[in-house]
Structure 1
Amino acid sequence: MSDFKLTRRRIRGGYYEGLLTTNARLKGQPVVELHLPDTSLGDVSITATGKGGKTWDVIAKIPSVSINEGIQTYILRDGNSGDTLDSFAVVTGEPLQEDLRSEISLMRAELDMLKRSFRRHVVDSSG
Structure 2
Amino acid sequence: MADLTHARIRAGIWHGEITGRMPERLIVTYQGRIIEGLEIEPHEAGTSLRLLLPREMISEGAQTCLIADADTGETIAEISLIAGVPVAEDLRVEVASLRAELDLVKSVLRRLAMEAEARGAEPAAAAEAARAPRPARRKI
Which letter maps to 1:40? R
Deviation at 1:93, TM superposition (A): 1.4
Is 1:7 paired with 2:32?
no
Partner of 2:114: 123
Aligned length: 117
Query: Taking structure 1 as reference, are residues 105 and 21 closer, same or farther at Cα in structure 2, changes over 3 Å only?
Result: same
Higher-RCO chain (CA-CA 8 Å, sequence separation at least 6): 1
Deviation at 1:101, TM superposition (A): 1.0
Instruction: Please tell me the root mean square deviation across aligned C-alpha atoms, in Å.
Output: 2.3
SS at match of 2:56: helix
Partner of 1:19: 17
- Report matched runs for 1:98-113 at 5 Å: 98-113=89-104
Find the structure with the greater CA-based Rg.
2
Higher helix share: 2
Asked if structure 2 preserves the Cα contact closer than 8 Å seen for 1:34 and 1:76, the reply is yes
Asked if structure 2 preserves the Cα contact closer than 8 Å seen for 1:47 and 1:58, the reply is yes
Partner of 2:41: 47
- For 1:65, which of 44, 56, 60 is the aligned residue? 56
Q: Provide TM-score, normalisation by structure 1.
A: 0.75
Query: Taking structure 1 as reference, are residues 122 and 84 closer, same or farther at Cα in structure 2, changes over 3 Å only?
Result: farther
Q: Provide TM-score, normalisation by structure 2.
A: 0.69
Q: In percent, how many aligned pairs have the same letter? A: 28
Q: Which runs of 5+ in 1 are unaligned?
A: none
Deviation at 1:18, TM superposition (A): 1.0
Following TM superposition, where does structure 1 have runs of at least 4 consecutive aligned residues deviating by more than 4 angstroms? Answer: none
